Amino acid sequence: MSFEVSSEMKTAFNQDGYVIIRGLLTKQELSRLQPALEKDDGVVKHSYTVDDGHGRSSRMCLWNHPGNDITGMIGRCNKVAGTMSTLLGGEVYHYHTKLMMKEPHTGGSFVWHQDYGYWYNNGCLFPDMGTVFIAIDKCDQENGCLKVLRGSHLIGRIDHKRVGGQTGADMERVEHIKKVLPLEHVEMESGDALFFHSNLLHCSDQNHSARRRWAFLIAYNRVSNSPVIEHHHPQYTPLEMVADSAIMECPLEVDLKGKDFLEPDKDKTSWGRRVVS
């Protein structure tokens, strides 16, 4: 069945800064994506460690172009890219995809931040950007699910500075915002997706459970908002949209060709000091 964005979804995104779509990926689609992400010769071979400044760490890998394998079909399909285009109110292109890995008992935390707090410095003039967070594993409070401040995207970009070994939003301002906006724990089952605006304040806690918390995130930028400076993520690059059926029909489980993986030592913003979702 074709997936369409309802008026209720658009209203939630505009008012709250996010919308959760339960079961966006089917069990069959997850059965193709998960093993592709776990293959030793796949994207994980480009992963590296991100310390949280409190004795724990997570792993992540990031690539700039979706490609033609399963991960690329998900980033290019209508119910993911098309939905974000509708929510942001204009044609989008792929900004980057990342796999975030919080392992049992050791997964690190990430401080309060806005994605646009960083993307602003990449030459993106407008916050016409968003991310799709797809749960590979169950995400709950015990294993470090996302926390968001509902409606915080309407506040605009907040200054970001060093916070406990990471770079995050000005915590004095965040504390004031927490007094007037509701804090939500975004608990998700495998296959659920969170579409959120680039100015939404979010963070996540350490993983204290015996379960891992892996998440697959695709970031998009509106075509009209192509960065005015060259940096470590793409300026406008046409996105070849595919039908949702392409996920199951794709013959390539893993194909790293052309993905352009991020190398932390070449990242101008230094991932070792940045925060990620």
Domains, the chain: 21-266 (2.60.120.620)
Top-confidence residue, 269 or 42: 42
pTM beyond 0.85: yes
**What percent of the chain is modeled with pLDDT above 70?**
94
The whole-angstrom separation of Cα 178 and Cα 31 is: 38
Mean pLDDT computed over every residue of the chain: 94
Cβ neighbours around 63 below 10 Å, total: 22
pLDDT at 206 over 50: yes
Q: Are 116 and 157 in contact (CB under 8 A)?
A: yes
Q: Which of 102, 97, 45, 114 is nearest to 274 (CA)?
A: 114
pLDDT at 270 over 50: no
Q: Are 270 and 231 in contact (CB under 8 A)?
A: no
The whole-angstrom separation of Cα 215 and Cα 188 is: 11
Average pLDDT over residues 83-92: 98
Q: Which of 119, 117, 112 is nearest to 220 (CA)?
A: 119
The whole-angstrom separation of Cα 61 and Cα 53 is: 19
pLDDT at 1 over 70: no
Q: Which of 113, 109, 90 is nearest to 226 (CA)?
A: 90
Average pLDDT over residues 101-122: 97
